[in-house]
Amino acid sequence: MDKIEEVLITLRRLIRATDLHSKQLVKTAGLTAPQLLLLQAIREKGQVTIGALAKEISLSQATVTTILDRLEKRGLVYRERSSEDKRKVHAYLTDKGMDFIRDAPTPLQEHFVRQFRDLRDWEQSMIISSLQRVALMMDAEHIDASPVLDIGDLDRKVSRNHSYDRSEDGPEDKSDKGEP
């Protein structure tokens, strides 16, 4: 096998690992990775505005609002307007949301982050540089992306049988979701 094939196989493995983990997360927890990350961010921050959440998980406010809408329908979060500044809305976990997140599986990127942090600085820099070069070679350096390891729509709806239900929302603009 030549080096080009090795690179392409490795890229495919990365894509496939992300896809398989995303599907497993939906199957076992009924949530997408971005939904789980949003719940975790709310838990960690306590009283938090939508803008602060968007910044925390590197998604647009519109995407975070859509995800919160879906989580709120499931009874996992609720929102309240700030008593101090009526322009601000804060997100909170419900008791059901707290229970849910406590029992939820670990997102793929948390496994990656733990192992990446254990690397020496020079190893981290080498990986970053190599991946940035690969993105450039694939004409992907201009694509806006968040640090969420998930495939597909970041706010896709999960139906009761844990399959992806994209029909309800129809076509959507993906320009703010880190997708081509």
Q: Give the pLDDT confidence score for residue 1 in this predicted structure.
A: 76
Question: Where in the chain are the domains?
Answer: 3-165
Higher pLDDT, 169 or 30: 30
Q: Which residues make Cβ contacts (< 8 Å) with residue 57, sequence separation at least 6?
A: 34, 37, 38, 41, 64, 146, 147, 148
125: Cα separation from own chain's centroid: 23
The number of residues in the chain equals: 180
- Asked whether residue 65 carries a pLDDT value surpassing 70, the answer given is yes
Share of the chain above pLDDT 70, in %: 79
CATH level 2 (architecture), domain 3-165: Orthogonal Bundle (1.10)
Instruction: Check the CA dihedral 121-130-140-114 and report its sign.
Output: negative
What is the rounded average pLDDT of the residues 43-70?
A: 89
HEC string for 86-112: CCCEEEEECHHHHHHHHHCCCCHHHHH
> Which residues on adjacent β-strands are paired with residue 89?
81
What does the pLDDT average to over 26-38? 86
Q: What pLDDT does 119 receive?
A: 96
* Residue 108 near residue 33, CB atoms below 8 Å: yes
Residues 92-112 have a mean pLDDT of: 85
